[in-house]
Amino acid sequence: MLMLLCWSCGGQDTDTDTPDVDQGPFLEIKVYSPERSQVTRADIGDVPGDDSENTIHHMNIWVFEHHGTDHPDDGKFVGYLSVANPNPLVDGRYRILVSETFVDNPPAVDIYVTANVTESNTGIKLDRTTTRAQLEAALMKHDESHDPFGLTTPQSEIPTDGLPMSGVLKNQPVDGMAPIVSVGTNVKVARAVSKVRFVFCNSSDAEDEDQKLTIQSITFDNGMIPKEEYLFLNAPYTGRNYKVGSAYEAAAPLVNTPTVVASYSSPTEYAYRGQTGQEYEALINKGIEDERLTEIGKFYLRESDKKITGTITYTVGSSTTALSAPFAMSEAGDFSRNHTWIVYGFFAGKDNLKVFSVDVNDWTESSGDHEVYNW
């Protein structure tokens, strides 16, 4: 089995050598990435989508001794791993060179993992010298020159560095015997951003020029998306454990380029009817493929602890009179990281744009009735 290694104690990073176990001692860590459906799609199975959303270009792992909640920053540094192009993860296993002292009497550990976290796509610079305190304080942030995954320059394409991902696992026992000890629980890595899709349809009964539907703009209301978002959550993947900064973005159009909407005889077919997330996105994707639906987006944005609201502005026919329709999430915090939110609207005639929002539920919920899903 191929093992990706890092000479962490000596400060040398590598992902090409496969040493014998005699070259240890090692701490073995198991990391599951978004390409593994049980991590980010555990409740619904695979969803057809863009594979580039899952691609990991670079991964970092830090390990510290766990010293309890009273002194969370006191744990000693154990090891560090830097791996370029780890896809596919071979069995999700990584070995980090550690000291003999650690292996002889291993304490519980805290593990931090990042993927695709670079200065260009998060404004964050991390390396083997990064401390636990710096990891806990790491913020994806907005500033005058850089606004990754915010409203200033909405991200509608996968950046060349990939979508940023993170995962943390704390107070984990270490088992085994020298030269290889291991952590039994998998570190789950999830995307640190969320995605929103706006999808529209115009009834074919309104195909003539006087009933043409044109989306003019889509705007979030003030104070919806945080200017700062923590890279690591306190307790990730267990409900809405968002951990955002204190300031929020001002209202700004996600898009303000006029877009003429496709027509179809029965637009209500694409309204959400209680399907699983997998079934609903498959339905939407097929409608877009068949040119029955028009999608504006996707948009990759920082997560939010707010009940997101906004406005769709549109015109009908040759009229220049701007009409509007509001949209809103179900509850505050529904736009947490690693979720998709689908907003569907269709033109029902007489200047009436009906808007349906697919609500976001706790992504760990295991019942069969899913109104939205993690992606």
Contact of 104 with 29, CB cutoff 8 Å: no
* 37 has pLDDT over 60: no
* Max mean pLDDT range (20-34, 195-209, 252-266): 252-266
Q: What is the C-alpha to C-alpha distance for residues 187 and 167, in angstroms, rounded to an integer?
A: 6
DSSP state of 248: B
* 360 has pLDDT over 50: no
Residue 39 sits at φ, ψ, to 5 deg, of -85, -60
Separation in Å, CA 297 to CA 21, 199, 271, 372 = 49, 8, 18, 17
Indicate the pLDDT class of residue 9, thresholds 50, 70 and 90. very low
pLDDT in tens, 173-207: 999 988 999 999 888 888 888 889 999 998 876 55
pLDDT in tens, 76-105: 999 999 988 765 445 678 999 999 999 999
Contact of 336 with 360, CB cutoff 8 Å: yes
Whose tokens are 């269709």? That residue is 346
* 372 has pLDDT over 60: no
Q: What is the pLDDT of residue 318?
A: 86
Indicate the pLDDT class of residue 336, thresholds 50, 70 and 90. confident
Percent of the chain with pLDDT over 90: 34
- E strands, 116-240, are 139-141, 165-172, 174-177, 180-183, 187-188, 190-191, 193-203, 213-220, 228-230
Q: What is the pLDDT of residue 24?
A: 77
Q: Choose among 157, 167, 76, 149: nearest CA to 113.
A: 167
Q: What is the pLDDT of residue 281?
A: 80
Contacts of 218 (CB under 8 A, 6+ apart): 198, 253, 254, 255, 296, 310, 311, 312, 313
pLDDT in tens, 262-321: 999 898 899 888 777 777 888 999 999 999 999 998 999 998 888 899 999 999 888 899
- What's the rounded mean pLDDT across residues 204-226? 84
Lowest mean pLDDT among 168-172, 260-264, 353-357: 353-357
Q: What is the pLDDT of residue 371?
A: 32
- What's the rounded mean pLDDT across residues 344-373? 55
Q: What is the pLDDT of residue 3?
A: 33
| Domains within the chain, CATH numbers bracketed | 4-191 (no CATH), 193-357 (2.60.40)
* 45 has pLDDT over 50: no
Q: What is the C-alpha to C-alpha distance for residues 16 and 20, in angstroms, rounded to an integer?
A: 13
* 253 has pLDDT over 70: yes
Q: What is the pLDDT of residue 120?
A: 87
pLDDT in tens, 127-151: 999 999 999 999 988 777 778 899 8
Mean pLDDT, the chain, integer: 78
